[in-house]
Amino acid sequence: IDFNELSRSPISQMYEYEALKYELNGYHSFNLNKNGGKIRLIFSTDNHQTIILEFISINHYEDFKNKL
């Protein structure tokens, strides 16, 4: 599966896949707690081929922004 397929898959939609915006452009996330939870996997891609786990966020991106 490539990144484009991953971003459109039903499983990705179930875990609220989203591309991040603004200063976090280029990063993406999955929400591990369905229905509005706060544990998110933040990742980037290498030319849309390799997914690189960057951070596990428990504070809705604020902790990840502080790390940047």
* CA separation for the pair 29, 41 (Å, rounded): 5
Q: How far is CA 11 from CA 5, 55, 57, 61, 64, in A?
A: 11, 20, 20, 22, 24
Tens-digit pLDDT string for the chain (68 aa): 677 788 888 988 888 888 888 888 888 888 888 666 678 888 888 876 788 888 888 876 676 666 65
* CA separation for the pair 1, 20 (Å, rounded): 21
Tokens of 9: 């898959």
Tokens of 66: 């502080």
Neighbour order of strands in the sheet with 28-31: 18-19, 28-31, 40-46, 50-57
